[in-house]
Chain A
């Protein structure tokens, strides 16, 4: 099944904060095609519509103009999204009264993964993330990195075809974040998923992505393919070179956004 994403003319406006004011247009006719099993990083200055894009793609926000398709299946205006998705937020968002394992069960219960496969799936991902010994622990007993790993287990356990990630490592220390990035690539290589990854870290984007998409004022400013072969080395100079370009585009986008804000 094709789990690529086609976004056409995606526009999202928020109502004016005051009566008579102009409505705030966050996404402005955005077109983007993401291939099946492609890893795309979306980068942009704050307020460029990154989070809004993820909210519409994940079905949290169905109030938009334009079209979103997963393969041939269009996103509906209500009900379950037409694709199995996993989501990793910036913060772990675990249910604090449930143990690590029960937190994963919570996601499984609402998925269509058959119950007889749960044990095997959980074993697999707990092992992979090194959380095997912490299955009975409650979230407050886990470190920030461990909690985010658990959120990753939860997102993967539902066997998503598409994985949405909203700055998932930005709240972690660099060492933990670096490890998790490598782990994520490893998991992605083995399981094959379409990933949309939001970040404001240009090196992270370059290291992870097949393609980096820089957003500015609700539109794509530029798409930069990363052709460095995989598996990638975190300190590969070729990555630095691409990252520099990504970074320059990002800064230009941010400056443009600032100018636009100053004018209005």
Chain B
């Protein structure tokens, strides 16, 4: 904890130091950035932009998980599925996210659905790969144990397979979030009239670095909060049964 706080202070000092070397239009200092952020809160629609972005992040994440988890699990447990799908997952992973966004906006229209489809489909392959690798590590000896104790197929899936896959689902949730939000701002910049991505692009076009930094800072803080406070605590509670691993 102390180390984390220390490194954050060091980063802030570095930012402060660098900001003296450059003009304000290129690199505003932390203090100015925070002031701009505070002004935005006081007299802007910052919360509605943030809500729009978070809504898309959530929608995209749900879609990405809904597609990525079944594909990944299937590839992990079934060799035929693995052989058939692995090249397509690689292709899907290789296509740039910008292409997904363009396809979605042209084929579905400049609307919310298209944005979420673009975000979800871009992130799904990474989640599928994550789960695929994870499911390969599960302990199949436990399935044998369940079978000699007369567990039905459904019971085995629910009580023996699922709890083993759950840690990988949680890991891919965190990992997926990291990808999804980066794509969300890109999609917003390309085809939405609101959201953090839209604002970033707007201020970039006006050459206002203070605002660009203020929005970047805001979004980073929100995401760090979700990741460090919400997801990590949730994970700790869910997997309390695991032996303590100290890194």
Q: Which residues of A contact B (CB under 8 A)?
A: 58-60, 80, 85, 87, 89, 91, 93, 95-98, 106-107, 109-111, 138, 140, 154, 158, 164
Contact = CB atoms under 8 A, between A and B. Distances in A.
Contact of B242 (A91, A96, A109, A154): A96
15 contacts: A60-B148, A87-B145, A87-B149, A89-B141, A93-B142, A95-B163, A97-B163, A97-B242, A98-B241, A106-B149, A109-B155, A110-B151, A111-B150, A140-B243, A164-B148
A211 to B, nearest CB: 24
Contacts of A158: 149
Interface majority SS (helix, strand, loop, mixed), chain B = helix
B182 interface: no
Nearest to A158: B149
A110 B145 contact: no
Nearest to A99: B241
Given A59-B148, A97-B242, A140-B242, 19 more contacts: A60-B144, A80-B150, A85-B148, A89-B141, A89-B144, A91-B141, A93-B144, A93-B145, A95-B142, A97-B239, A97-B241, A98-B241, A106-B149, A106-B159, A110-B149, A110-B150, A110-B152, A140-B243, A164-B148
A93 B141 contact: yes
A110 B155 contact: yes
| Centre residue among B150, B160, B239 by max chain A CB count within 10 A | B150
Contacts of A110: 146, 149-152, 155
A140 B145 CA distance: 18
B242 A60 contact: no
Contact of A96 (B146, B150, B155, B241): B241
Given A95-B142, A95-B163, A107 B149 contact: yes
Contacts of B141: 89, 91, 93
Contacts of A154: 149
Interface in B117-155: 141-142, 144-152, 155
Contacts of B152: 110
Contacts of A93: 141-142, 144-145
With most chain A CB atoms within 10 A of its CB, the pick from B142, B144, B159, B241 is B241
A101 B243 CA distance: 18
A208 to B, nearest CB: 21
Given A95-B142, A95-B160, A106-B159, A87 B243 contact: no
